[in-house]
Amino acid sequence: MNMGLQKRSRKQKGIKRFLNSFKYAVDGFIYSYKNEQNLMVHVFVATIAIIFGFIFKLDKIEWLFVLVMIGLVFCAELINTSIEAVVDLVSPEKHPLAKIAKDTASGAVLSLCIVAFIGGLVIYIPKIIELFVK
């Protein structure tokens, strides 16, 4: 392997780089929150799900499901945002393949949101019904 390429491919290590990685991750989340309407909606829905979780006193397994689904939806939305940014960078003009990349990434987020919504219904509907039955 070329010695110059070997040197360039090694990443610096250390506490400063480690701490900066968290800063960059937070910057990415903030950017997406400010610029992606869907992430704002996800944060709102997640907040409501968490508030209802406390109101309905979810058990550990229910909390685990709710929190994992919130995390997965956030991750999917952030990955979708990054895919859209890269596609816009490499293909500023409209291109059928760029559209496919963006649409399928969005479709992945939608699929996950549907699953999370159905799972939320499974958890919360019996608890809501229980309120009216008592």
Catalytically active residues, by annotation: 77
Could you tell me how far CA 122 lies from the centroid of its own chain?
A: 21
Residues 6+ apart with CB under 8 A from 52: 124
Burial of 109 (0-12, 13-18, 19+ CB in 10 A): buried
